[in-house]
Structure 1
């Protein structure tokens, strides 16, 4: 039974570690698009929302935009971005930033490096505290079980 006190926190740490990797990748991807200096005019092809939650959990709605633009070499690129502004509607034209080697990693978000660093830092800090809590729980559990084992004849 005491093995659950190790398996569950280990799984939680693994999930949190995957989230850390995903957050860092997304941040690096957006930063690389902004740093490339390449921009294009893109047309918003579609907007839609997705919902999650319900029942016992609060309902969360996420806005998605689908954009399409053409690179200088004539390649058509279509990409989707979550969480954009609600003021962009189908048919609107926006400026997108993209890296030359991966135009499908474009972003329609205007450059805001401070906001990106602050948001990424806050999420990473939360995940770090979560991981430390799980490690602490495992350490306390180990102490409890090893102390209980020492007192047995």
Structure 2
């Protein structure tokens, strides 16, 4: 029973660490696309929303756009991006930025490095605080078990 109080926080730490890795990877991909200097005209093939939540929780919708463009080498690339402008609809032509080595990780978002850094930093601080809370919980549980001589005295 004692292991339960260690396993659950460790699983949460693992999930939070993976989320932090994902946030850092996406920020690096977007920054790399912005800094590469490569641009292309892309067509919005589809705009759609996904919804999550419901029941006892609030519903959250996310706007997605599917874009297609051709690289300078002539390779046709299609990618899905979340959080784009609500004014972009199917058939619109937008400028995308991409890195030559990874055109499938392109972005149609306009360069805003300060906004990207602030958003990434806030998320990483949040994940760090949550990981610290999990570690603190595990420490408190460990001290309580040591003082009590086990789960049930």
Q: Where does residue 81 of structure 1 map in the other structure?
A: 81
Q: Does 1:12 align with 2:25?
A: no
Q: Where does residue 123 of structure 1 map in the other structure?
A: 123
- 1:5 deviation in Å? 1.0
- 1:44 deviation in Å? 0.6
- Cα offsets for 1:54-86 (capped at 9, x unmatched): 111111111110111111221111111011110
What is the SS of the residue equivalent to 1:52? strand
Q: Distance in 2 between matches of 1:13 and 1:95?
A: 38
Q: Does 1:49 align with 2:49?
A: yes
Which of structure 1's runs of 4+ aligned residues deviate more than 2 A?
A: none
Q: Distance in 1 between matches of 2:14 and 2:94?
A: 38
Matching of residues 4-153 of structure 1 within 5 Å: 4-149=4-149
Structure 2: runs of 5+ lacking an equivalent: none
| Higher strand fraction (1 or 2) | 2
Across the aligned residues of Structure 1 and Structure 2, the Cα RMSD in angstroms comes to 1.5
What is the SS of the residue equivalent to 1:19? helix
- 1:47 deviation in Å? 0.5
Q: Distance in 2 between matches of 1:101 and 1:14?
A: 30
What is the SS of the residue equivalent to 1:105? strand
- Cα offsets for 1:110-138 (capped at 9, x unmatched): 00000000000000000000000000000
- 1:22 deviation in Å? 0.6
Matched pairs, number: 152
- 1:108 deviation in Å? 0.2
What is the SS of the residue equivalent to 1:25? helix
Q: Distance in 2 between matches of 1:12 and 1:72?
A: 43
Q: Distance in 1 between matches of 2:39 and 2:113?
A: 17
